[in-house]
Amino acid sequence: MAMQDLTLMSAMLKKMDWHEERQKIIAQNIANADSVGYRPMDIKPLDFKQILGGSTSTLSMSAAGSGGGAMSLAATSPTHFGAENMAGSGQKVPTTKQKDVYEVAPAGNAVVLEDQLLRMNENYTDHAFVSNLYQKNIAMLKMALK
């Protein structure tokens, strides 16, 4: 049995992938901080119930509903950095406009760098937590196998 077949390990890997994609979107927002008319984006929160429902493990919860249509990030201007392929691997990443846009520059840009830096820090600490949790689970499984 592969490690990815375990529901917990699969969920942690998906969460780490989600954090990686969110980091790309935040970096794109920062890169477009001076682009005229650019609105900051964010990735949709990960649905834990959907992760468990899409699991292939026999130990997972059954029929919680898997899958869901994903949308790609649309560029509103050809001058936006990285708008052509956000995921890098060809995956489509579901994104949303940020709700709390409270400052808009006269040129129509709504990126607040302080807000983006806070989001980046939050994303980093959450990713580090899940990564540490994943490493601890691997160590625990190794100890159980000895």
pLDDT at 76: 67
Whole-structure pTM value: 0.64
Mean pLDDT of the region 53-79 = 51
Looking at per-residue confidence, does 68 or 79 come out higher?
79
Sign of the Cα pseudo-torsion (140, 10, 57, 59, in order) = positive
pLDDT beyond 70 at 51: yes
Ramachandran angles phi, psi of 96, nearest 5° = -135, 160
pLDDT of the residue at 101: 54
Determine the pLDDT at residue 132: 96
Question: Average pLDDT, stretch 7-17?
Answer: 89
Q: Please say if the pLDDT value at position 41 is more than 60.
A: yes
Q: Residue 103, SS3?
A: coil
For residue 108, which of 86, 72, 73, 77 has the smallest C-alpha distance? Answer: 77
More confident residue, 39 or 96: 39
- Residue 15: per-residue pLDDT: 92
Most confident of 8-12, 26-30, 64-68, 111-115: 26-30
Res 47: pLDDT: 79
Give the contacts of 110 (CB within 8 A, at least 6 positions apart). Answer: 38, 39, 40, 98, 101, 103, 104
